[in-house]
Every structure is written in C-alpha cells, then in structure tokens.
C-alpha cells in the first residue's frame, strides 16, 4: 500500500467499459491513465482472464486511445479509436474515431470503417456478427463520400455557420451540428473472416433513406470513400438524445429507443420528451414503432431467442407528480408490453438477459449502495423471484457469463476504486470475487462509516462519513452535495473524491437528501419540485448529526456541491450561516434565466412547469433572490463549454457576489464543460479547493496554485 496523495489519486488507473468474449473466458476492460504530457487521459484496452489463471495484459496502445470494445462471434474484437500512429505523442484535438478489428490470435489491429465524421457507438449481433454503427452525416448526404465532399466544401469556403430548424440545438457539451447524429449504418462484409457471410449491397449505388426512399444518383455521386463498400445507411433520425440499441442474434432487427424530439415536433412541449421503442429491419431499413405509450424507453436488450426485449421505462414527471422508473418486457412481433412487478422499491437500470432467457439481471441504487439483482421469470414472462445478489458497494455494467453461472460487473465503493468482479447468480447478498486487473492500490489513512439523521418530518436520511484515521483531535467537516439531482453517494468518484479531502485532514459528509435515489419512491418525491425546502433541510439534518460525532469539530464546517449540488450550495449560502465557506461548481443561480439558456430547458418543465404559463416555482426556488443575505466566503467554479448549466449562471453569480461585497474567488476553465476532464485541470481544481478550505477551516493563508 502507498500513501494516498493528490499525485497518487491522479495517477490511479481508471477502469470501465467491459466486453465479455463469446466463450466467457476473456474480459476486455478499458484502463484510463494520463498521457505522456499529462494534458489528457487516454484509454488502453486490457485483457482480463475471468478464470483468474493468467495475469491481465495490455491489448492496445495508441496516443488517442481506444474505447467501446465489443466481441464478434468468431472471438475477434472490435473497438473505436482515432489511432493514426501507436507512437504518436498527445494531440491537442480529438480526431474522429474509426472502427478497428483485432483478430482472435492478436497481431496488429486492422481498420474496418472510417466515416469522415467518426463512429459514435457500435452494436454487434451475437450470432450473425452484423454490426450497427452510429456515424453522423451532414444534412442531405447519404454516403461517407458525399459527407466528406460536403465537409470539404464547407472548409474550403471557410464556412462554420449552421442553420437550425428544430429544438434543441445543443446538448451537454456540444452543439448539435453541423453533422447530424442519429445516422445508423449496417456493416457486415470484411468485419469478420467468415467467407460464408453474405456481402452487403454496393452502398455507393443503393443507399436508401427511410423517410424518402430515394436512391443516390450514380451520375452525381462523389468519388467513393473507404467504408462505402462495406456499410450502408440503415436509418436516420435527428439523434437529439442518441440512445444505443440492441441487435437480434440473427442481425435482422435493430431495436432502439427513438427520441420524440427527433421528429422535430412543434410546438415543443414536455410531451416531446422521452423515447418510443422502435424496431428497424436491417434488410430494408423500415422502422416500426413497437411502443409509443407516452413513457420514456431506455436502452433495450434483446433476449437470446430474439423475440423479446427488456428495457427500463420511465413515467415522465409533471409538477404534480414525480417521475418513476420500472422494467418492462416487450414482444418484438406484437408490441405487447409486460410491466415487471419487481416487488422492490428501486429504479432498475441496465438490464441484461441470462443466456437461457429465463431471467434478467439489473442494477439499482438502494440504501447507499448499488447492488445487482437477479429477476427470474415464470412461463408467462412475469416475475417469479427477485434476488439481491450483492449487499455492499456499487455495481455497474453487469454481463452474465455464457454458461449462466455468474455475472461479471464493475464494482466500486466510497473508498474503493472500480475494478471488475464476479458474482454467482442466484445467491443472495454475497461477497463478490474481484478479478485480477490493473487496478491501483486502495487508499489508506481513511475510513468510512454510515450515519443516519432524522429529518423534521420524522424521515430517516442516510449519509456516509469519511474520516482520516491518522489525525488526532476533532477535524473540520466538509459536506459534499451530489448532483443529478437524482443520484446517490454509493460509488467511488473521480470528480468529487472524498478521500482526497479526507487525507488533507478533514472529515467529509456525503448526504443523500430528498430527491436522491435508492430510498424508495416516497423519499424521492419529498424533494420533487421543492428544491429549496426538503432537500435543503435534509442536508442540514445530516450536518447536525455528523457535527455531533466525537471525531468532528462542529464549529468548522464547509459545504460544496456541483450542478444540482451547486444549486443547493448557493441556496445554503443565502439561507444558512453555519458554514465557514462554500464551494459551488457548475451551479444553477438564476432559475428564470437558466430555463432559456440551458441546453434542454424542456426537461426542467417536468418538475417546475412551464415558465410561460406559471413561473412561480422558478422564482420561488431561485437562489439569486437571497444574494443580499449571503455573507459566507464562496469559491465559484465553472467551465466555459458547459451547456447544461451555461457559463452565464456563473457570471451572474459572480457579479451578484462582488456587487454585494461577498468574499469570493472564481476558478474559470475555458476548456472544460460540465465536468473537469483534463488531468492538469483536475489537479488545479483540487489544489484550489483544498487551499480554499484550508484558508477558512484552518485559518491558513490561501496558497494560490503555482500555475494560476
């Protein structure tokens, strides 16, 4: 074990993105580490032996890195990468990712498909080996050659302008264009080495649009582009909220959630949110709506028999009633829906079928953890039994093994970085078996315990308390408020790591207030649409409980949060004065203004209603109205490229704080978005936050980071 410092934390390998081979013996996991210059993270693919007999070994190496691994039936591996040269140094920009293939016996990867706009995701049919990829195209183009020609024409003319006709025009951290996402291509020929596989029709002369059915003119077609000979346009949608799909084993049908916003409906209302479930015939490209019941369908998973899909489905919220998420099974032929009565009050996510098609494995937040569940179905496809496979920790990316005996998943905890693990099917509350993988050391010098506070309405509110073990006497308390707003502190966090703060000599409180997930629908509903009430008071209840701990100095308190957590940090600043300082990151400040500048203001209308019809909640729960009452020193942090919570929120907050004489600092990242993703920026984030906390909790001089 090594001493856990900021350097140790930033150097830790970050694992995620699992792919399991058809024989179940090989697991591929992405391992992210800082690049040679330390200005970006890059991911390499590693091979993990699921039997534990062999040590993990690195499969790929390139400067841009690799992602989205998926096995073909013959055991070869597909992945995405913008890898021009394995020995190239870090680049300042990100070239588009192409589709590569690594043969079962290794060797050098071969290029399969390189659309000019890159590949965004891929899906593989488990039996046929058909591959569906998402590749954005310029409007009015159907082939990679036509897209490349359009891009060159714009570049040669020096044109960067875009003409929008639909809403929204931005999403999270990027503008929706000039290329349009939501273009799915089917690729088969040359992807595998199986000579029995049928060749794809010549897409340069037979590309169809599912909306018009027109064929590209051979006379007007641009010169062929690499990839046009092995991929044809399958279907196009606007792809506003692009959701991955699932292929039937024979590759004949692609099932996906279809955003209603993709239809360009006007006027745009909350009815346009959510997704219908559709089936796309891969031979003709014809799209058939399976379910359009007003709910939002998540990423589906096709059953091994190819006749059913299971998917999470969300009842969209309205101001009078919050959202709710369940699991449902849909018959691919009839569209019949069977809503699964799980008998457990959780929001299920990422369902996967067992190989025999008699059960579904899913994950869900529950009481400060994220366990795996095994749902066995009866002969009518309804729930026979639900077994919680794990009790502790947070589990994601569950993959049932081909022999139907285990599940491979990623496991982490508040003090445990993610690593692949194996869990036996059917056994309740077991301790997972971690696989041998290139994971770093667990942190030392800290411990975590569970505390439970009682809110003023008698409801119990859970939280984690992370404490340093090698510090004598009571230590300051720093409260981390999670974002979301729907979420839970139950996993290791690379962005808001309590261990980094705890090893600096403070305790860290991780509360799950009302509107958090994992405590039942009623607990979630307590905070729906009333952010400045119950979530706020719940946080303070947990602070009171933690401040009474013998190891905590209840007089030295700080609060910090990002996104929704930043909203609550701002609200606390104007409504409570027990904290010595507050850190607010990517935070909401002026809700009436925020609705029109965020990337998808429509989403917030499900909870707060239409601001055009009744702006009451936007005004009542806007933190900016209490700026005159703020006296607590604040550190404001924001990224210029944040489109979910635009930089305008930080600029208004900063202006209001300085105009009102508040002691404040502003850490600004021109090259970051809603998250701080670059290693050098992450270092500056932690250095600045730790210096700010030390200034106000330990009465130290503010130690300005050297590079700021």
CA distances from 228 to 82, 124, 181, 284, 396 (A): 19, 19, 18, 17, 36
Q: What is the pLDDT of residues 243-290, one digit of tens each?
A: 789 999 999 999 999 888 876 666 678 888 888 999 999 999 999 999
Q: Is the dihedral of CA 544, 548, 549, 553 positive or negative?
A: positive
What three-state secondary structure class fits 582? Answer: strand
Whether the per-residue pLDDT at 212 is higher than 70: the answer is no
Whether the per-residue pLDDT at 170 is higher than 60: the answer is yes
Q: Treating both helix axes as pointing N-terminal to C-terminal, what angle do 564-575 and 534-547 enclose, rounded to 10 degrees?
A: 80
Q: What is the DSSP string of 363-387?
A: E--BTTBB-EEEEEE-TTSSEEEEE
Structural contact between residues 74 and 194, judged by C-beta atoms closer than 8 angstroms: yes
Structural contact between residues 452 and 549, judged by C-beta atoms closer than 8 angstroms: no
Q: Distance between alpha carbon 370 and the CA centroid of its chain, in Å?
A: 15
pLDDT band at 230 (very low <50, low <70, confident <90, very high): confident
Prior bond of 168 cis (ω within 30°): yes
pLDDT band at 167 (very low <50, low <70, confident <90, very high): confident
pTM beyond 0.95: the answer is no
CA atoms within 13 Å, Cβ hemisphere of 157: 9
Q: Distance between alpha carbon 314 and the CA centroid of its chain, in Å?
A: 17
Closest to 314 (Cα-Cα) out of 329, 331, 327: 327
pLDDT of 1 reads 35
Whether the per-residue pLDDT at 111 is higher than 80: the answer is yes
Closest to 101 (Cα-Cα) out of 21, 30, 192: 192
* β-strands 337-339, 324-331 pairing: antiparallel
Cα separation of 460 and 454, whole Å? 5
Structural contact between residues 333 and 294, judged by C-beta atoms closer than 8 angstroms: no
Q: Which residue has the higher pLDDT, 682 or 83?
A: 682
Query: Percentage of residues in the chain with pLDDT exceeding 70?
Result: 92
- Start-to-end CA distance of the chain, whole Å, equals 32
Q: What is the mean pLDDT of residues 60-89?
A: 85
CA distances from 14 to 121, 248, 276 (A): 21, 32, 34
Average pLDDT, the chain: 91
Q: What is the mean pLDDT of residues 672-692?
A: 97
Cα separation of 292 and 414, whole Å? 39
Token code pair at residue 278? 């559709």
CA distances from 423 to 183, 391, 398, 634 (A): 37, 12, 10, 45
pLDDT of 261 reads 80
What region does 166 belong to: left with phi over 0, alpha with psi -120 to 50, or beta? Answer: beta
Q: What are 47's strand-pairing partners? A: 28, 57
Cα separation of 515 and 531, whole Å? 9
Q: What is the mean pLDDT of residues 193-200?
A: 42
Close Cβ partners of 101 (under 8 Å, ≥ 6 residues apart) = 72, 76, 77, 78, 109, 110, 111, 112, 191
Q: What is the pLDDT of residues 517-568, one digit of tens each?
A: 999 999 999 999 999 999 999 999 999 999 999 999 999 999 999 999 999 9
Whether the per-residue pLDDT at 491 is higher than 80: the answer is yes
pLDDT of 268 reads 77
Whether the per-residue pLDDT at 200 is higher than 90: the answer is no
Cα separation of 254 and 280, whole Å? 5
Cα separation of 345 and 699, whole Å? 46
pLDDT of 192 reads 52
Whether the per-residue pLDDT at 342 is higher than 60: the answer is yes
Closest to 47 (Cα-Cα) out of 106, 97, 88: 106
What three-state secondary structure class fits 575? Answer: helix
pLDDT of 259 reads 86
Q: Distance between alpha carbon 166 and the CA centroid of its chain, in Å?
A: 25
Token code pair at residue 295? 């709910």
Cα separation of 95 and 81, whole Å? 9
pLDDT of 238 reads 67
H, E, C per residue of 186-220 = EECCCCCCCCCCCCCCCCCCCCECCCCCCECCCCC
Range with the poorest average pLDDT among 173-187, 548-562, 632-646: 173-187
Number of other CB atoms surrounding residue 394 within 10 Å: 24
H or E segment and range at residue 591: helix 591-597
Task: Give all domains of the chain, ordered by start, each with its CATH number.
Answer: 446-697 (3.40.50.1820)
Number of other CB atoms surrounding residue 294 within 10 Å: 11
What three-state secondary structure class fits 248? Answer: coil
Cα separation of 41 and 38, whole Å? 7
Q: What is the CA radius of gyration of the chain?
A: 26
pLDDT of 236 reads 80
Q: What are 110's strand-pairing partners? A: 101
H or E segment and range at residue 574: helix 564-575
Q: What is the DSSP string of 80-146?
A: EE--S-TT----SS-PPPEEEEE-TT--S-EEEE--TT---EEEE-TTT--EEEE--B-TT--SHHH
Close Cβ partners of 268 (under 8 Å, ≥ 6 residues apart) = 167, 261, 602
Token code pair at residue 214? 């027109």
Write out the E strands in 612-652: 634-639
pLDDT of 473 reads 87
Q: What is the mean pLDDT of residues 652-675?
A: 98
Closest to 688 (Cα-Cα) out of 660, 668, 661, 663: 668
pLDDT of 489 reads 98
pLDDT band at 397 (very low <50, low <70, confident <90, very high): very high
Q: What is the mean pLDDT of residues 214-225?
A: 54
Q: What is the pLDDT of residues 4-55, one digit of tens each?
A: 889 999 999 999 999 999 999 999 999 999 988 888 999 999 999 999 889 9
Whether the per-residue pLDDT at 359 is higher than 90: the answer is yes
pLDDT of 79 reads 97
């Amino acid at each position: 074990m090594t001493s856990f410092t900021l350097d140790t934390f930033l150097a830790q390998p970050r694992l995620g993105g699992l792919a399991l081979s058809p024989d179940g013996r090989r697991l591929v996991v992405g391992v992210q580490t800082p690049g040679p210059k330390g200005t970006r993270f890059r991911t390499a693919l590693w091979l993990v032996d699921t039997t534990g007999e062999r040590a993990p070994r690195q499969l790929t190496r390139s400067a841009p890195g690799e992602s989205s691994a998926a096995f073909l039936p013959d055991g070869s591996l597909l992945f995405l990468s913008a890898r021009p040269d394995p020995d190239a140094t870090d680049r300042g920009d990100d070239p588009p990712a192409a589709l590569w293939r690594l043969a079962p016996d290794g060797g050098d990867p071969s290029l399969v498909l390189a659309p000019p706009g890159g590949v965004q995701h891929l899906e593989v049919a488990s039996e046929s080996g058909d591959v569906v990829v998402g590749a954005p195209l310029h409007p009015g183009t159907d082939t990679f050659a036509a897209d490349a020609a359009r891009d060159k024409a714009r570049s040669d003319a020096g044109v960067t302008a875009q003409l929008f006709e639909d809403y929204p025009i931005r999403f999270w951290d990027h503008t929706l264009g000039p290329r349009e996402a939501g273009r799915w291509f089917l690729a088969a020929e040359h992807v595998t080495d199986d000579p029995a596989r049928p060749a794809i029709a010549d897409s340069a002369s037979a590309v169809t649009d599912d909306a018009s059915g027109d064929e590209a003119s051979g006379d007007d077609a641009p010169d062929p582009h690499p990839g046009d000979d092995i991929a044809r346009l399958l279907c196009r949608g606007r792809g506003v909220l692009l959701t991955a799909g699932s292929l039937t084993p024979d590759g004949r049908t692609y099932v996906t959630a279809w955003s209603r916003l993709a239809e360009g409906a006007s006027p745009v209302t909350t009815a346009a949110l959510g997704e219908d479930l559709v089936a796309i015939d891969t031979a003709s490209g014809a799209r058939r709506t399976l379910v359009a019941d007003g709910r939002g369908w998540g990423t589906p998973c096709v059953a091994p028999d190819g006749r059913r899909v299971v998917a999470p489905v969300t009842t969209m919220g309205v101001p009078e009633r919050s959202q709710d998420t369940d699991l449902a099974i849909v018959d691919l032929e009839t569209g019949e829906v069977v809503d699964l009565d799980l008998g457990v009050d959780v929001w299920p996510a990422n369902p996967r079928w067992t190989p025999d098609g008699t059960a579904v494995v899913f994950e869900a937040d529950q009481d400060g953890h994220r366990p795996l569940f095994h749902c066995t179905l009866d002969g009518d496809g309804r729930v026979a039994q639900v077994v919680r496979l794990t009790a502790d920790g947070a589990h994601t990316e569950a993959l049932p093994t081909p022999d139907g005996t285990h599940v491979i998943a990623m496991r982490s905890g508040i003090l445990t970085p993610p690593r692949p693990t194996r869990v036996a099917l059917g056994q309740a509350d077991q301790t997972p078996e971690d696989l041998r993988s290139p994971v770093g050391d667990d942190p030392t010098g800290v411990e975590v315990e569970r505390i439970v506070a009682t809110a003023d309405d008698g409801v119990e509110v859970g939280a984690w308390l992370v404490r340093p073990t090698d510090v004598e006497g009571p230590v300051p308390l720093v409260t981390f408020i999670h974002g979301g707003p729907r979420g839970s502190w139950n996993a290791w966090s690379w962005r808001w790591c309590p261990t980094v703060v705890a090893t600096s000599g403070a305790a860290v409180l991780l509360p799950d207030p009302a509107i958090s997930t994992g405590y039942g629908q009623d607990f979630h509903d307590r905070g729906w649409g009333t952010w400045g009430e119950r979530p706020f008071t719940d946080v303070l209840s947990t602070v009171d409980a933690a401040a009474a701990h013998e190891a905590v100095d209840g007089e030295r308190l700080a609060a910090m949060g990002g996104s929704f957590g930043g909203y609550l940090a701002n609200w606390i600043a104007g409504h409570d004065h027990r904290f010595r300082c507050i850190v607010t990151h990517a935070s909401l400040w002026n809700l009436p203004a925020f609705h029109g500048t965020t990337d998808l203001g429509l989403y917030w209308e499900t909870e707060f209603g239409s601001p055009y019809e009744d702006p009451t909640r936007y005004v009542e729960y806007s933190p900016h109205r209490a700026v005159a009452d703020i006296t607590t020193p604040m550190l404001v942090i924001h990224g210029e490229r944040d489109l979910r919570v635009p930089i305008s929120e930080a600029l208004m907050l900063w202006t209001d704080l300085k105009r009102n004489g508040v002691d404040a600092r502003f850490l600004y990242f021109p090259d970051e978005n809603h998250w701080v993703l670059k290693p050098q920026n992450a270092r500056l984030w932690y250095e600045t936050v730790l210096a700010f906390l030390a200034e106000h909790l330990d009465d130290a001089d503010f130690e300005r980071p050297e590079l700021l």
